[in-house]
Structure 1
Amino acid sequence: MDSPAPTSQTLRPGLLLSAMFLAVTLPACGASAEAPQDAAAEQPGATPEGDGDAEESAAGEDSSDAEGSADGEEPEAEPEAEPAELPGGGDTLFPDRRFLAAYGAPGIPALGVLGEGTPQEAAERVKFYAEQYQEHSEEPVQPAFEIITSIAITEPGVDGNYTNALDPELIEPWVDLAAEEDIYVVLDLQPGHASFLDQAQQYEEFLAQPHVGLALDPEWRLSEGQRHMEQIGSVSAEEINQVSDWLAELTREHELPQKMLVLHQFKHSMISDREDIDTSHEELALLLHADGHGTPGMKTETYETLQQDLSEDIWLGWKNFYDEDSPTFTSEQTFQVEPKPWFVSYQ
């Protein structure tokens, strides 16, 4: 007894592909077989008139087509994609622009003004701030979000590192809206006992975008045995350099414009051996963000102290606090600070 014909469920992958190919080509073969034939072709040994000429003609056409293809123009290459640019245009951060940022964590008003509303509301607010600062700046003032993506906590947390790294899905709407609204984004890390590099890599999908930079906040980087709110944290130049090496490579790999790397500081002890920070990566613009708060005199003193022995390759930033400053600086007062800060944030 003959074996049953195999079905599609029993065909091996190669045979199934062949069957699919046949299914596609069979209709054309069937149409050719049913076409009327010349009467002479029905007689054994007869040759239809003109077949020789037809073959020669076909051969000639094939030859002509081949020559035309060989002698003809090459197909036009697809146009190359435009290089990625920063919000506001260009591929270099400074000195072509200054930045005005709203700082905070999504949905947590206590951590800064950014968390007091929706992404759209934050965008409108930061654009309004930027317009105020533009009156006192020759350079364009670029609106920005500084988003706390990992938050220092007083309990060990899930991983025991005293930090809560926010789910990227929570950050994504902010990053996406910023791209639509031409707003720069800085992702701020408060890693606890985790390393800055480990946490930065958790947000690689965002840092691989042209409008997203990174901020390291050593105040919340704990050494072994330390706890938040019991002492001020710190970070070594070596750990900062590990982050900058990785971030520069990521920027090169994705052919991105220059990326901002912010270092928060208000005491010298927060960044040990600061003179050893690597500033050689052309892909990055390093910026020291002075986080001093209090009276105008206290803030100015902190700003001036942090500039001592600071590399000329590191730009300067300034933070205004709504609750901790007395009073909060106006846009005019902020840009009267010497040297005028390149990045200003509001918390």
Structure 2
Amino acid sequence: MKLVLKFVNGVFITVIFLWTGVLMLYIFASIDLLSFKQADNVKKVGHSHKVDVSPASDEMRVESDKAEVTDTARYNKLLLHLVHNKPSVKWPVNAGYPLPGALLPYNRIVAFYGNLYSTRMGILGALPEAELLKQLAEEADKWRQADTCMPVIPALHYIAVTAQRNPGKDRKYRLHMPATEIDKVLLLAEKAHAIVFLDIQPGWSSLQEELPLLEKYLARPDVHLGIDPEYSMKNGQVPCTAIGTFDAEDINYAISWLAALVQQYNLPPKMLVVHRFTQGMVTNYSNIRIKPEVQFVMNMDGFGGVAKKLDTYRSWISGEPVQFTGFKLFYKNDVETGGHLMQPAEVLALFPKPVYIQYQ
């Protein structure tokens, strides 16, 4: 009898042990499967800031994968397109793939520059509204036809902080545009189906002081930033009596500030345009640090004859690469001093092709 009881107890213990083992294997397998699915979702999100592990159909996931692959392939193709399919040691710049929502190099920006208070600072303040909108649309269409590989986005590049010869009450030699004027530009851009750049000419002020004052506008997904070293008077001189300067440290501050803004408000990448036509306007360019939240454009800002403009572009824009390039065209100054306003085909012959075109 004792032998029978021992046998039964042994069988019972064995069965319990086996069932426990099976149960543990099932739990571990479930955990592995869940981890695999979560990892798979992370890969599908790609560059997104947030990881989406919510249920989705296989069809939706396949489409997401295709979009990610197509984006990357198109990015590579367009970078080669900008260098005429002849990459060099300097170009294209390898800055990594952009975050979702990036406008460059997927589009070319064609911008009208100026200030609504002045007819002399640029085309933006020189024409009545209806005429301005018509001319901007016509210019954008010229660039679409000249380079069918890149869609064109119109833009209004508005000087929101203007350098002044008058020191003002705080002796900073700059003037802030009132909110009512900035709102007019935003409304005008809406009518033009355009994006907006707000430009800072700091005078004796600094980017650290000026950028926070524009935060409520730059927190919008359709508003980007321009900064102008020509009017950053670190030498203590009065604006317009000498050419100012930004160091890489100043530009890196703007990049970091914009990157933090993108993260805080969950925005698509911001574009930062820096104007330049001399070497001294931007010092230590090789120390400029690009962040994935910001797309950088060094904009050739000089006027004059074609040969002079090309030489400036080759020397200080193409010759000192950062990420993307821009090119400014002056309706009056280029014609008066050089006799000729460059047309899209001429500008597109540059190496690399500019992705940002500005008319003043």
TM-score under structure 2 length normalisation: 0.68
Q: Residue 321 in 1 paired to residue 330 in 2?
A: yes
In structure 2, which of residues 167, 170, 184 is the aligned counterpart of residue 159 of structure 1?
170
1:196-345 pair list within 5 angstroms: 196-279=207-290, 281-307=291-317, 310-311=320-321, 313-325=322-334, 326=338, 327-345=340-358
Taking the aligned partners of 2:299 and 2:156, their CA distance within structure 1 comes to 15
Equivalent residue of 2:241, what SS? coil
Q: Residue 110 in 1 paired to residue 120 in 2?
A: yes
Contact 1:319 1:344 in 2 (8 A): yes
Taking the aligned partners of 1:307 and 1:146, their CA distance within structure 2 comes to 20
Change over 3 Å in CA distance of 1:119–1:159 after alignment to 2: farther
* Residue of structure 1 equivalent to 2:195: 184
Contact 1:119 1:173 in 2 (8 A): no
The CA RMSD over aligned residues, in Å, is 1.6
Contact 2:201 2:227 in 1 (8 A): yes
Q: Residue 172 in 1 paired to residue 188 in 2?
A: no
Displacement after TM superposition at 1:271 (Å): 1.0
Taking the aligned partners of 1:131 and 1:120, their CA distance within structure 2 comes to 17
In structure 1, which of residues 114, 124, 131 is the aligned counterpart of residue 134 of structure 2?
124
Change over 3 Å in CA distance of 1:96–1:198 after alignment to 2: same
**What are the Cα deviations for residues 147-187 of structure 1, in whole angstroms up to 9, with x where unaligned?**
01111111102321111111122111211332454211111
Contact 1:193 1:224 in 2 (8 A): no
* Percentage of identical aligned residues: 31
Equivalent residue of 2:240, what SS? coil
* Residue of structure 1 equivalent to 2:49: none
Contact 1:120 1:177 in 2 (8 A): no
Structure in which a larger fraction of residues adopt helix: 2
Taking the aligned partners of 1:307 and 1:144, their CA distance within structure 2 comes to 21
* Residue of structure 1 equivalent to 2:51: none
Q: Which residue identity is paired with 1:189?
A: I
Q: Which residue identity is paired with 1:107?
A: Y
Change over 3 Å in CA distance of 1:346–1:95 after alignment to 2: same
Q: Which consecutive unaligned segments of at least 5 residues does structure 1 have?
A: 1-89
Displacement after TM superposition at 1:128 (Å): 1.5
Contact 1:236 1:273 in 2 (8 A): yes
Taking the aligned partners of 1:169 and 1:274, their CA distance within structure 2 comes to 36
Contact 1:168 1:203 in 2 (8 A): no
Which deviates the most, 261-270 or 237-246? 237-246
**What are the Cα deviations for residues 287-334 of structure 1, in whole angstroms up to 9, with x where unaligned?**
0001121111000000000146534x5100000012221211122222
* Residue of structure 1 equivalent to 2:26: none
Which deviates the most, 281-290 or 194-203? 194-203
Equivalent residue of 1:126, what SS? helix
Q: Which residue identity is paired with 1:315?
A: F
Q: Which residue identity is paired with 2:313?
A: Y
Q: Which residue identity is paired with 1:98?
A: R
Q: Which has the larger radius of gyration?
A: 1
User: How many residues are treated as equivalent by the alignment?
Assistant: 256
Taking the aligned partners of 1:127 and 1:116, their CA distance within structure 2 comes to 16
Change over 3 Å in CA distance of 1:224–1:299 after alignment to 2: closer
Contact 2:204 2:236 in 1 (8 A): no
Taking the aligned partners of 2:289 and 2:234, their CA distance within structure 1 comes to 22
Contact 2:111 2:359 in 1 (8 A): yes
Change over 3 Å in CA distance of 1:295–1:180 after alignment to 2: closer
Change over 3 Å in CA distance of 1:270–1:139 after alignment to 2: same
Taking the aligned partners of 2:176 and 2:159, their CA distance within structure 1 comes to 9
Change over 3 Å in CA distance of 1:211–1:119 after alignment to 2: farther
Taking the aligned partners of 1:118 and 1:196, their CA distance within structure 2 comes to 32
* Residue of structure 1 equivalent to 2:145: 135
